[in-house]
Structure 1
Amino acid sequence: MVNDQPTQVRPTSANGGRTTAPALRRGLDILELFLDSSEGLRVPEITARLGLPRASVHELVGALVDRGYLKANSDDHPSSYSLGVKVLQLGGAYEQALDMAALGRKIAKSVAAESGETVQVAVRDGRLAVYVVRVDSRHAVRLVSSVGSRLAAHCTAGGKMLLSALDDDELDALYPDDDSVEPMTQRSIDSKARLLSGLAEIRRRGWSEEFCESNDDAACVAAPVFDAHGTCVAAMSITVPTIRWNEATRERNLDLVREGARALSRELGASGKHV
């Protein structure tokens, strides 16, 4: 941490009164200088533009280089810096999220029209499934949720689909023990062993389901959505109240959600076995 001035937290007008640490704010100020500088900047230039102590700038630039947000232009003496690959990755992730919502909603509408039930698209944030698209059922009795809803991933069909794409090390980091597998209902997965066993089965068959695991009155099937790199980036799901759930409903909605997920994958550039 930079300690050339007393550490304090100040409100910022740009975020509605929330506060940020000085080092973080200065790091972001440095990155934003590069929005108008395609040829790179040297530490003295950054120091002059921001009015910061040179030692602080050296430390912050070093941290940004270490994390991939800046890179040193090796042919320059003294070194100048330009934006690194991590910024490109963040921009790509942001662009993908925008495409995901727009494309996902278009395809989810089509799937919902055929199914008559609620269709959602979820992405993963740690141990949570976050719903970025939702198209309501046309029935009076239907799932109540909203875009932006966050549920425990291991309790939802879409969340389990996303978790099944992770490797053993990633799953161990997310779920180190049984205490990290918290149930939402009496039917929820409630142990790491059950979770890992269930995810192995999902990988084998290529789709997931839940019955009253996140909601005592809802059943759900989900399928994976892949991007151009073959990465599972989202899951599409169809949720049905249990009063309308039976084997025929399950099979029909499973066919619809798998086809919908393949259609969204094609829109995102996936090919081969993923479509």
Structure 2
Amino acid sequence: MGRLVPAVTRALDILELFLDGDGTLSAPDIVRKLQLPRTTVHELITTLAARSYIVPVDGRSGRYRLGVRLYQLGSRYAEQLDLAHEGQEVARSVAETCDETVHVAILDGTHVLYIAKVDSTHAVRMVSAAGRSLPAHCTAVGKMLLASLPDSELDTRLAPGTELAAMTPNSITDPAVLRTELEAVRAAGIALERRESNADVSCVAAPVRDRSGRVVAALSISVPMIRWSEERRAELEQLAAKGAADLSERLGHRAAA
């Protein structure tokens, strides 16, 4: 690995300072936060401003905000993002940690569509495939995605008279019961499925957000009941939440401090 260039590192440190606070900074702010010489800071600010990476704030003398060049770079990065590809990479990392089957899914009407999947190496494991579609109400990812919908959209998908098909004896078939569960999912920020799509498997799932903060997918970990316990569930919930947060970050989401 080559040597880091100090001037470039300092310039990037300055840009990253704008991620906090109200998004504006002055030269004295930067000097104080980075403990850099004033002359160095002024030279770096002048260079960044000349290249439109930062711009002066109108009506606030001496303060700067991020410039259009960073928006252009960010937009190009966003254009290159592929949810399925990024989801597969994160799912692989999560599966390597827990050695259980990991899925990433999106909502398709009242069903979920699995767009990424990594298998457990255990002989006994959940059998599925990317591209498979299941009723959302029977799965942890589906509950997570349904719970993330605005009420108006949820009302459309769960209109009066909606029939919820059962995949196992544990599946939720009453829309009122499902709505109660979705409220609990919203409150917890995590979804749980207990043998509702497969009588031998339970799952946990967490939300994946894009750069606007909108939930666009969910990441789940599926575990055969022979390896399931409440202690294990708690561990997997934390791992699923971390994996979903990692994937969200790849999609440009920045969690609140």
Which bracket does the TM-score occupy, shorter chain normalised?
A: 0.5 to 0.7
Is structure 2 residue 176 aligned with structure 1 residue 201? no
Per the TM alignment, residue 177 of structure 1 is displaced from its structure 2 partner at its CA by: 2.9
Paired AA for residue 184 in structure 2:
E
C-alpha distance in structure 1 between counterparts of 2:172 and 2:152, whole Å = 20
Between 197-206 and 171-180, the greater mean CA deviation after superposition = 171-180
Is structure 2 residue 220 aligned with structure 1 residue 225? no
Is structure 2 residue 157 aligned with structure 1 residue 170? no
C-alpha distance in structure 2 between counterparts of 1:152 and 1:253, whole Å = 23
Is structure 2 residue 174 aligned with structure 1 residue 191? yes
Match of 2:97 in 1: 114
SS of residue paired to 2:90: helix
Structure 1 residue runs of 5 or longer lacking an equivalent are 1-91
What is the TM-score when the length of structure 1 is the normalising length? 0.63
User: Do the aligned partners of 1:175 and 1:181 also contact (CA within 8 Å) in 2?
Assistant: no
Per the TM alignment, residue 129 of structure 1 is displaced from its structure 2 partner at its CA by: 0.6
C-alpha distance in structure 1 between counterparts of 2:102 and 2:79, whole Å = 23
User: Do the aligned partners of 1:124 and 1:153 also contact (CA within 8 Å) in 2?
Assistant: yes
Per the TM alignment, residue 243 of structure 1 is displaced from its structure 2 partner at its CA by: 1.0
C-alpha distance in structure 1 between counterparts of 2:190 and 2:224, whole Å = 19
C-alpha distance in structure 2 between counterparts of 1:171 and 1:249, whole Å = 31
- Report 1:193-272 matches (<5 A): 193-272=176-255
Per-residue CA distance 1:165-218 (angstroms, 9 max, x = gap): 112221121111354322211111111111111111100110101011011010
SS of residue paired to 1:148: coil
Q: 1:140 aligns with which of 115, 123, 126?
A: 123
Point out which structure has higher relative CO (alpha carbons under 8 A, 6+ apart).
2
Match of 2:31 in 1: none
User: Do the aligned partners of 1:117 and 1:238 also contact (CA within 8 Å) in 2?
Assistant: yes
C-alpha distance in structure 1 between counterparts of 2:252 and 2:145, whole Å = 19
C-alpha distance in structure 1 between counterparts of 2:255 and 2:229, whole Å = 33
C-alpha distance in structure 2 between counterparts of 1:236 and 1:223, whole Å = 6
Indicate the percent of aligned positions where both proteins have the same amino acid. Answer: 47
Match of 1:52 in 2: none
Match of 1:11 in 2: none
Match of 1:130 in 2: 113
Paired AA for residue 109 in structure 1:
R
> Superposition RMSD on alpha carbons, in Å?
1.8
Per the TM alignment, residue 252 of structure 1 is displaced from its structure 2 partner at its CA by: 1.2
User: Do the aligned partners of 1:178 and 1:191 also contact (CA within 8 Å) in 2?
Assistant: no
Per-residue CA distance 1:114-153 (angstroms, 9 max, x = gap): 1110000000000001000000001011111101000000
Per the TM alignment, residue 95 of structure 1 is displaced from its structure 2 partner at its CA by: 5.8
Paired AA for residue 188 in structure 1:
S
User: Do the aligned partners of 1:178 and 1:190 also contact (CA within 8 Å) in 2?
Assistant: no
C-alpha distance in structure 2 between counterparts of 1:244 and 1:178, whole Å = 38
The structure-2 alpha-carbon separation of the partners of 1:183 and 1:271, relative to structure 1 and needing over 3 Å to count, comes to: same
SS of residue paired to 1:272: coil
User: Do the aligned partners of 1:120 and 1:133 also contact (CA within 8 Å) in 2?
Assistant: yes
Per-residue CA distance 1:70-109 (angstroms, 9 max, x = gap): xxxxxxxxxxxxxxxxxxxxxx9x968x611111111111
User: Do the aligned partners of 1:220 and 1:239 also contact (CA within 8 Å) in 2?
Assistant: yes
SS of residue paired to 1:137: coil
What is the TM-score when the length of structure 2 is the normalising length? 0.67
Structure 2 residue runs of 5 or longer lacking an equivalent are 1-75
In the comparison of the two structures, how many residue pairs are matched?
A: 181
